[in-house]
Structure 1
Amino acid sequence: MNQDFVKLDRLDGTGTNFNRWKDKLMFFLTALKVAYVLNPNLPEIPPPKDGESDEVKKQREKRQEDEVICRGHILNTLSDTLYDLFTVVKSPREIWATLEREYASQKQGADEFLIKKYFEFKLDDSSSLMDQIHNLQVIVSKHKEYGVEISESMQVGAIIAKLPSSWNDYQKKLLHTSEILTISSVLKHLRIEEGARILHKKEFDSDPRVNMVHEKKF
């Protein structure tokens, strides 16, 4: 099979892409019918003995060949640093188990960091609101990479709750709407409102009469 079929990622030394790498590689190995050799409960290959049947010999050869193929594909998708580290390990199960142990602890730390980052994320008036929300959605996507799902209703609620204080009136409008808000719909509403605010500001700045009235008030 051509690896382009599933576009395999290379696992880097940081392990930030471990879940994606693992899922894609497991799919590929399953399609090759060799993923079974990664089963930790799979018994060891028994040594050859006199008088064994041709069928047993074929099973041993098949198992040995599958382990070589599986190991080769795992090594082939590692970064150069990881490849050098694991190339001396002959068992694909040992390589797989070691990587899972190594990056499971990193995943837990990354989960906690991303969750903290998500809840502490603030929207403000310093830059485009939609650009900031895009950055917030990037954090959500990274959660998914680590297997943490944030429901759509929670995402919608978080976006509304994180609106700047200058958006308080519009925030109340969204909170009291009878419309069932989705991520797509709330982003549409915010995009329209931000566009209207930008247009209003441009008209205010470019109209000298408005500026004169504003100056007289002060």
Structure 2
Amino acid sequence: MEVEKNMTSFLNLNVQIDRFDGTNFTRWMGKLFFLLTLPKIAYVLDPKLEPLSEPKEDDFDELKAARKKREDDEVMCRGHILNTLSVRLYDLYNSMESPMEIWNALEYKYKTENECTDKFLILKYFEFVMVDTKFVLDQIHELQVIVTKLRELRVKIYESFQVGAVIAKLPQSWNGYRKKLLHRRDDTNLEELQKHLRIEEETKSRDPKGKIIDSSKVKVVKTSKFFKNFKVNNDKKFKKPSNG
């Protein structure tokens, strides 16, 4: 009865958790562990948890009650873990009786894969290069998405390092402004850096008269002028001399 009551309370919690399908293991594990702490059953997943002794006829009532609670908590914990798995993974791990056995099996399989993901994302972060054909702030956003994914995998990148990385990864056309940023004596956080870059990018996108230049039309304008000049020169070259 107590198990059913706790299960109902757990399912009625206003907390959303996606079914684990093999991706984002660390995020799923963290969310599920938090949910298991609410009904106070996460302790059964503690690898240092001492096993209870085998039941005996002369056991004290306190020991019998403790054993019954442990058994009920393990049943409920196992049910919660299986309930948050995809159908494919549920069928795969349903044969395991112990919640600890299921937890360890999932961690062994998917944490190893996450370590490979960690290395891939770290490499992707270091190899990320900004180009002149895209807006700088859009590229900074792409870089921050990688940082967010690394944070979910418990790879911490300090903000001062992120600031330095953004400055180092600016496109070649920003070399002059990069030197200016590097010679600043005051510490700049990521938000302030993006404000400075936004202002500089807007400045770069204006012509001397203060009008916004549409970069997509620059080549078209230049091409039009070329053909116009070509036509004028050829008209002069092939113009028939007058008989007068």
Q: 1:74 aligns with which of 74, 81, 84?
A: 81
Q: Where does residue 96 of structure 1 map in the other structure?
A: 103
CA contact (8 A) 2:130 2:171 kept: yes
CA distance in 2, matches of 1:189, 1:117: 25
Match of 1:22 in 2: 29
1:86-121: per-residue Cα shift (whole Å, max 9, x none)?
Answer: 111110000111111112211211111111100100
Pick the aligned partner of 1:106 from 99, 104, 113: 113
Cα shift at 1:49: 2.6
Count of aligned pairs? 209
What are the Cα deviations for residues 132-177 of structure 1, in whole angstroms up to 9, with x where unaligned? Answer: 1100000000110111001111100000000111111111111112
- Identify the match of residue 184 of structure 1 among 184, 191, 212: 191
Q: Is the 8 A contact 1:107 1:146 kept in 2?
A: yes
- Following superposition, the deviation at residue 67 of structure 1 comes to 0.4
* Larger CA deviation: 85-94 vs 36-45: 36-45
* Contact 2:44/2:74, CA 8 A, preserved across alignment: yes
Task: Tell me the C-alpha RMSD between the 2 structures.
Answer: 2.4
Change in 2 beyond 3 A, CA 1:143/1:11: same
The residue aligned with 2:138 is: 131
**TM-score computed with the length of structure 1 as normaliser:** 0.87
Query: Residue 181 of structure 1 aligns to a residue in which SS?
Result: coil
Which consecutive unaligned segments of at least 5 residues does structure 2 have?
Answer: 1-8, 227-244
Structure 1, unaligned runs of 5 or more: none
TM-score (norm 2): 0.78
CA distance in 2, matches of 1:178, 1:60: 64
Q: 1:2 to 1:48 in 2, by over 3 A?
A: closer
Asked if the contact 1:6/1:24 (under 8 Å) is kept, the reply is: no
Greater shift, 58-67 or 150-159, is seen at: 58-67
Are 2:181 and 1:202 equivalent residues in the alignment?
no
Q: What displacement does 1:2 show?
A: 4.5
Instruction: Give the C-alpha shift of residue 55 in structure 1.
Output: 2.4
SS of residue in 2 equivalent to 1:199: coil
For the residues of structure 2 that align with 1:55 and 1:163, how far apart are their CA atoms?
Answer: 67
Distance 1:94 1:204 in 2: 61
| 1:25-64 → structure 2 map (5 Å cutoff) | 25-64=32-71
1:29–1:35 Cα contact (<8 Å) kept: yes
- Residue 160 of structure 1 corresponds to 167
Larger of the two Rg values belongs to structure: 2
1:45–1:204 distance in 2 versus 1, CA, 3 Å: closer
Q: Quick one: structure 1 residues 42 and 169, their matched pair in 2 at CA, closer, same or farther if it must change by over 3 Å?
A: same
The Cα shift of 1:203 comes to: 4.6
- Is the deviation greater in 173-182 or in 114-123? 173-182
Cα deviations by residue, 1:166-197 (Å, 9 ceiling, x for unpaired): 11111111111223110001011111111222
Structure 1 CA distance for aligned equivalents of residues 95 and 214 of structure 2: 70
Supply the AA of the counterpart residue of 2:147.
Answer: V
Q: For 1:123 and 1:189, how far apart are their aligned partners in 2?
A: 17
CA distance in 1, matches of 2:74, 2:128: 46
